[in-house]
Structure 1
């Protein structure tokens, strides 16, 4: 039995082609494909383009969320994946890395919502 509520992955994507980081529709497509690959249930998505460049967006899933913030001028995307469900996170991470065309990736994983045993369960 796990002793936490969810898994939070911080994904650093560097060396991404600029054209994949500029348009909200591209980021939305990539995150929705990642959610589908994970087996997540999408609730809604919302993406915004900044001026002069960059995109921020969120895909809310029944199991939690996927978010992205892009910096086309640096070829960089910061992606967060948070899940409190039984999802295939590795499949989704592969879609994200490939979708953004990252040449260099780094990820950190955290367990969120540490569960404490109740006094009755001792």
Structure 2
């Protein structure tokens, strides 16, 4: 269960509106980014949300990985995106692949501000002396 969980909250995204509004296009871009990072997609779900009084509906793109998952949520009315990349490191360390995937998605959305977090999950505690 040891792994790396990366998240990022993006604001001021200057990307093409397609990436914020089109679930199919975003899903394809995410799948390509996953493969380019050297990770293995094993399932996917891409969903468009309806428009609201606040503006056009966003999308969610989720890719189940052999190593864990990628999830992207868009808020086009706010030009905002949240990213979630988690990789398990059982049998091999996939941390650099997770970082490469995150960087690829940051480049896709072109945010003006990014708030990032990294969490080591399932770390084995140090023995008490």
Map of 1:13 onto structure 2: 10
Map of 1:77 onto structure 2: 81
- How far residue 13 of structure 1 moved from its aligned partner, in angstroms, is 1.6
Q: Please, what TM-score do these two structures have when normalized by structure 2?
A: 0.79
Q: Please, what TM-score do these two structures have when normalized by structure 1?
A: 0.83
Question: Any residues of structure 2 matched to 1:1-122 within 5 Å, and which?
Answer: 5-16=2-13, 17=15, 19=17, 20-52=19-51, 53-85=57-89, 86-87=93-94, 88-116=97-125
Give yes or no for contact 1:8–1:80 (8 Å, CA) kept in 2.
yes
Structure showing the higher strand proportion among its residues = 1
Give the unaligned 5+ runs of structure 2. Answer: 52-56
In the alignment, the residues of structure 2 paired with residue 70 and residue 39 of structure 1 have an alpha-carbon distance, to the nearest angstrom, of: 24
RMSD after superposition: 2.1
